[in-house]
Structure 1
Amino acid sequence: MAPALPRPGYGPSSRYVPRAATTRTRAPARIPLAALASRLTPRDQWLVHMVHEHRVLTTGQIHRLAFSARRRAQRRLLILHRLGLLDSFRPLTTYGSSPEHYTLGPAGAALLAAYADSTPKTLGWRPTHTARIAFSPSLGHDLGTNDLLVGLAAHRRTHEAGLTLWLSERSCTRRWGDLVRPDAYAHWSDGDQVLPFFLEYDTGSQNLARVEAKLDAYAHATTTTRARPALLLHTRTAAREHTLRQRLTGTARQYELLLATASADLTADTPWGPWWLPAHPPALRLTLTELAAHWLDLSPAPDLERIGIGTPLDLPVPPLPPATTTGSRT
């Protein structure tokens, strides 16, 4: 199934509305947090952390990451919604209907605040949290970024290869915001091959000069941190990828960046596949595993467990829930 493309900033399909309260009712009374301890599975707790980390995840994305059946995912998400751990909305579309989009709910914010010995306000959560995400002009970009990385992470549920680390844009900014602000940082692992990479998810909204200027920041970050992750640039269309490559290839070579590009026209179903075209030879598309073998001087960002860590919530959230990483497929 192809990922949802970013929506325009105007017109009927740009409008987002919260889910009607009459169809998704809360529990009639607030349940004390301590009482939730006997009702929440490790997967539930992971999911609350995951939604907080990545801001918004759809039913389909959560299903792919953590459940064997979509109906089972829907039932569990409904329970978590009624408990107030998750909130949700559905974007208004011109045709058909959109999946449920899940965000952090009030009880979820309180749970995470208790875990971090903090308050929901300190975590950045407000009663308007879901509405701010639902009407955010960057929603389409965030959903596209998450969908691409969900595909890479979920691949590990049935294969040896997949994501072993996934940091959101917010986590990246907290760690390296004075140097560079990627849309994500992740590790693709396949046996002995590991591809650490920054991700730039391009929707075509920025002009070429602005995208090119980012390469200077990535080159500076590589020098400052003494790390050498790859830079993956994912575009909405093949035409946009071609245009960007014409503009960026020379600059990437000048800065000696390990840059590879791909477009949604190719990566929709198998983003790990042979769709990534390096800026340096060979002039053919490679899989993520082949990129890791092709670039011999790759090195991951250092001290990921310490840099930018203020509370336990700042530690990386595993891309897959505990039950899945230990072999369960439910």
Structure 2
Amino acid sequence: MPALPRPANGPGSRYTARAATTRRRLSPHANIAALARRLTLRDLWLIRMLHEHRVLTTHQIARLAFPSPRSAQRRLRTLHHDAVLDSFRPLTQSGSAPEHYTLGPAGAAVLAAHAALDPAALGWRPTHTGRIAYSPTLGHDLGVNELLTHLAAHAHTTPDEGLALWLSERSCARRWSDIIRPDAYAHWQTNGRLLPFFLEHDTGTQPLARVEAKLASYAAFTTATGTRPALLIHTRTTTREQALRTRLTPTADQLDLNIATSSTDLTTTNPWGPWWAPLQPGTHRETLTHLTEQWRHLTPATGLEPTDADTALTLPVPPRPPKTTPTL
């Protein structure tokens, strides 16, 4: 990817992408059929994940799909060389950021071929990576993906617990944008039971009143669909979380919503742990498994069943890769 210019102001001046590598890459016009024969099932899954979730860091991909960070880096370098993936690194005020991977031109072509679609139908453009790198929502998107990749990867060590379903903001908008616009929708599975939930990842940039106004939409969704998922609100700091709890508790009680809150201060490495506080006075923080037991009346959101309008690109992507013996 060519080096990206650094703007004098705006989002790019604070979170500016540089070229991730100077490695020689294959021509984007290379034989896609020959390339496809070299791709593993895990590679194809990763292509779909990056189309669904837009950007994942090396750490997030390794967490989900590889036995070690080193094996992830080796395979990701190969996929980058083959133009299956693009990547960039944001400039940071201190230290260095990990590689941020996006869908590359060859990956978009392979994905379109598998879906029997024209590449233009993907919405992929040569400026795809640059738009993501300079997006003012990049930090927000990475926060959502960081939380949910940890939840999905938990099943590696605890097979009875983990994410059974994970829909991106874009997939949620495709299904429910006429009523709600959550940052994600997921199913936490534990011992055969589900905790269906919408996720709102709050970065502290919106006024409390605007966050409160969203609750009416979630209540309207419950009424209109006859389904009752939970709402998990994840903040950056416990200070912001406490301010939200004070503001939202009366409204949540009035609307009869099942809401729990937590913050990145608590959920850094094990967000399934006892960090989620139901939005009710006098409650204690619970694990997601305890919330599953406590809120047994919850039901999955409507609109998840495949329809004739679905294609291979609109069906949910499994949160973890297929169980195979992959090429490291």
Q: Give the structure-2-normalised TM-score.
A: 0.92
Measured in 1, the distance between the counterparts of 2:303 and 2:91 equals 42
The one-letter code sitting in structure 1 at the alignment partner of 2:36 is A
Size of the aligned set, in residue pairs, is: 319
SS of 1:122's equivalent? helix
Shift of 1:327: 9.4
- Unaligned stretches of 5+ residues in structure 2: 1-8
Deviation sequence 1:271-330 (CA, Å, 0-9, x none): 00001000136611110010011012100013413269531110000000002xx799x7
- Unaligned stretches of 5+ residues in structure 1: 1-8
Shift of 1:120: 2.5
The one-letter code sitting in structure 1 at the alignment partner of 2:263 is S
Would the alpha carbon gap of residues 20 and 158 (structure 1) be closer, same or farther in structure 2, given more than 3 Å must change? closer
Structure 1 segment 1-330 matched on structure 2, within 5 A:
14-20=14-20, 23-27=22-26, 30-160=29-159, 161-280=161-280, 283-306=283-306, 309-323=309-323
Deviation sequence 1:230-270 (CA, Å, 0-9, x none): 00000010000000001001101111110000011111111
The one-letter code sitting in structure 2 at the alignment partner of 1:88 is S
Preserved CA contact (<8 Å) 1:305 1:315: no
Measured in 2, the distance between the counterparts of 1:80 and 1:294 equals 44
The one-letter code sitting in structure 1 at the alignment partner of 2:70 is R
Preserved CA contact (<8 Å) 2:232 2:259: yes
The one-letter code sitting in structure 1 at the alignment partner of 2:90 is P
SS of 2:232's equivalent? strand
- State the superposition RMSD in angstroms: 2.1
Measured in 1, the distance between the counterparts of 2:28 and 2:187 equals 42
SS of 1:201's equivalent? strand
Measured in 2, the distance between the counterparts of 1:305 and 1:327 equals 30
SS of 1:118's equivalent? coil
Shift of 1:97: 1.0
The one-letter code sitting in structure 1 at the alignment partner of 2:240 is R
Measured in 2, the distance between the counterparts of 1:245 and 1:277 equals 9
Preserved CA contact (<8 Å) 2:12 2:134: no
SS of 2:129's equivalent? helix
Measured in 2, the distance between the counterparts of 1:115 and 1:12 equals 34
Shift of 1:18: 3.6
User: How high is the sequence identity, in percent, across the aligned residues?
Assistant: 61
Measured in 2, the distance between the counterparts of 1:51 and 1:308 equals 24
Deviates more, 1:147-156 or 1:296-305: 296-305
Name 1:6's counterpart in structure 2: none
Q: Give the structure-1-normalised TM-score.
A: 0.92
Preserved CA contact (<8 Å) 2:28 2:105: no
Would the alpha carbon gap of residues 309 and 138 (structure 1) be closer, same or farther in structure 2, given more than 3 Å must change? farther
Would the alpha carbon gap of residues 151 and 13 (structure 1) be closer, same or farther in structure 2, given more than 3 Å must change? farther
Would the alpha carbon gap of residues 245 and 168 (structure 1) be closer, same or farther in structure 2, given more than 3 Å must change? same
Preserved CA contact (<8 Å) 1:165 1:319: yes
Name 2:3's counterpart in structure 1: none
Name 1:5's counterpart in structure 2: none
SS of 2:289's equivalent? helix
Preserved CA contact (<8 Å) 1:233 1:259: yes
Shift of 1:37: 2.9
Shift of 1:50: 0.4
Would the alpha carbon gap of residues 14 and 216 (structure 1) be closer, same or farther in structure 2, given more than 3 Å must change? same
Shift of 1:138: 0.2
Deviation sequence 1:90-144 (CA, Å, 0-9, x none): 0011211111000010011111111222222221111100000000000000000
Measured in 1, the distance between the counterparts of 2:308 and 2:235 equals 29
Measured in 2, the distance between the counterparts of 1:119 and 1:189 equals 36
Measured in 2, the distance between the counterparts of 1:222 and 1:146 equals 25
Shift of 1:29: 6.9
Shift of 1:158: 1.4
